[in-house]
A = this chain, B = another copy of it.
């Protein structure tokens, strides 16, 4: 069977002996058409297998029902959760999602934005590859000059004036420190000679997120007279460097009083290093940001500050829809607080 030529509004019109415009109206503004004509048209349309051409429609209105989601890692479970939330709420408002995985590459991110502009995307949810001050991609101006709504999610471009939904990183750091002071460093007293040591396995040194989390820890520690010394290992949010650096640290300085991993992968890396050095997870206090899934099944307790990705994604989409509806709205930042789970 040769594939039928695509059926258009005109084919439907011909079938019922009317003109294009009547068919168009019957399908989009049913109230403007006599009920009888309408049902004839609807019948013909479904019989012929008519599918509206989104391109023609988009060209006409010069607006589209597309929302872009740009992220560095679809396979990060936290992002997967956010994508799910965005996708679910987008389709309730009749938007479809164009997904771009930038794989941490600046040029792919730039391409993604370019493509979204060419599809006249109504909005973009952007989680850029980096929040460091020296990452200032050219597309920022393009976005400001166009009329796409933009909401940054989780990560934000340094100093770019877009709305955003971010985690309360300072607070997460404070939570972590408070928990450690309560549970681990409870007996610690000021002691300049042999202070208790907290090892922090962080993300990149220039990452705002890492710095905020660190700042949170430090302010809370500073509020007490417990003499906790903080050692920071900068990394890149992935497992391997965390594992290697924590391993090296343990070899050089011995076991710290506690380890704080700034995200899931970092913490797993730290745990791996501990295992390699024969340290059981319950001997040394480990605390994390992001949940380490399913460990409770095996009675391994790593307390963590958990952020609700689904909620964050949903808020981002809400913000985006508001901006699409009213582009003149001032930029907003929404902060999502995590919760300490023991």
Contacts and interface: CB of A to CB of B under 8 A. Distances in A.
Interface of A: 3-4, 6, 49, 51-56, 58-59, 62, 64, 69, 73-75, 77, 80-81, 83-84, 87-88, 91, 96-101, 103, 108, 111, 114-115, 117-120, 142, 145-147, 268, 271-272, 275, 281, 292-295, 297-300, 327
A120 B54 contact: yes
Contact of A54 (B6, B75, B118, B295): B118
A75 B74 contact: no
A120 B54 CA distance: 8
B53 A59 contact: yes
B120 A53 contact: yes
Given A54-B119, A75-B80, A272-B297, A88 B114 contact: no
A276 B188 CA distance: 37
Contact of A64 (B55, B88, B100): B55
Contact of A77 (B75, B271, B295): B75
A145 B4 contact: yes
A3 B147 contact: yes
A74 B6 CA distance: 31
Contact of A49 (B81, B91, B97, B145): B145
Contacts of A51: 114, 117-118, 142, 146
